[in-house]
Structure 1
Amino acid sequence: MIHRFAWALAALIVVPSSAVAPASLTGRWKTDDGKGIVAMAPCGTRMCGRIAELLIKEPAGGQRDERNPDKAKRSRKVEGLQIYWDLVPHGEGWKGEGYSPEDGRYYTAHLRVKGNKLTMKGCVSVFCRTVTWTRVA
């Protein structure tokens, strides 16, 4: 009787494979266009991403967030800018919010890590774009 109870208890605490956490986002990722490095790290109980480094020639004083829809934010430097926030596990990947300083758009972000590749799909309404970034040291 105890033996059957132990098996029943074990069956209840086994985690189904669909509940496995997605691969870690933590690290530095080179963008698909080679223009920058984005650092992904925990921020509280969620994940966030910042532009850690620009790999392009910047204007004197640094590249600014000139296309931001909020005119008060257009003087912010792009390097150091948080572009992902509220990223949480979602299925086999991550879901949260994103911002592109290149076009000044906010979007819903879906990210998935496979090995040293990070596939990011950003959607504004029904329009989506997918890019793949590469992990760097």
Structure 2
Amino acid sequence: MRRSIFTLAALALALPGVFAGPADPRGHYLTASGNLEVEVAPCGEALCGIVSKVIANHSMSRPGEAMQAADDRPALGMKILLDFKPDGDNAGTWQGRIYNRENGKTYDCRMTLDEAGNLQLRAYVGLPLFGKTQVWQRLTVAAP
């Protein structure tokens, strides 16, 4: 417990202002498909999203069908948002990667919060201009 408090304090000092105010993405979210609840929390010097609850198994690419995962790993506990760090050029924007369980691929991703506190994730290959945005509904806010 003591070690985790010091680790969190060191992280807060290393990334000044990152975890404060309305642009703080830490908390629990419901994915756009409604399949998963994901907790966004610090992991090392970045933020990650780990599946905290499996709700359903709907395909995001084939409406009305069950999702066919590309790997055999269980979804619960899986890290699907990886290495999100503040984008120094764009305030309120985080850069990282997102894992797609249906095809087993990882994509570059930009993360922002909308006015309601929902997470907007724009996954892309190459240029963000050609990406696709998912909106994840905020369920809880992380305690400071």
Scaled by the length of structure 1, the TM-score of the pair is: 0.69
What is the aligned partner in structure 2 of residue 133 from structure 1? 136
What is the aligned partner in structure 1 of residue 73 from structure 2? 76
What is the aligned partner in structure 2 of residue 89 from structure 1? 86
Is this contact kept in 2: 1:50–1:82, CA < 8 A? yes
* 1:118 to 2:119 alignment: yes
* 1:41 to 2:38 alignment: no
> In structure 1, what residue type is equivalent to 2:86?
P
> In structure 1, what residue type is equivalent to 2:136?
W
> In structure 1, what residue type is equivalent to 2:29?
W
Question: Mapping of 1:23-42 within 5 angstroms?
Answer: 23-42=23-42
What is the aligned partner in structure 2 of residue 56 from structure 1? 56
* Number of corresponding residues: 108
> In structure 1, what residue type is equivalent to 2:125?
V
- Structure 1 runs (4+) greater than 4 angstroms displaced: none
Offset of residue 109 of structure 1: 0.9
Scaled by the length of structure 2, the TM-score of the pair is: 0.66
Cα distance in 1 between the residues matched to 2:68 and 2:96: 21
Offset of residue 36 of structure 1: 1.1
Offset of residue 75 of structure 1: 2.4
The structure with more strand, counted as a fraction of residues:
1
Cα distance in 1 between the residues matched to 2:94 and 2:123: 12
Once the two structures are superposed, residues 18-75 of structure 1 have per-residue CA deviations (whole angstroms, 9 ceiling, x without a partner) of xx758111100111121111110001111111111111169xxxxx9841xxxxxx22
Q: For structure 2, which runs of at least 5 residues remain unmatched after alignment?
A: 1-16, 59-66
Cα distance in 2 between the residues matched to 1:84 and 1:56: 19
Cα distance in 1 between the residues matched to 2:117 and 2:97: 22
Q: In 2 relative to 1, CA 57–107 (structure 1 residues): closer, same or farther, beyond 3 Å?
A: closer
Cα distance in 1 between the residues matched to 2:109 and 2:68: 20
Cα distance in 2 between the residues matched to 1:57 and 1:94: 28
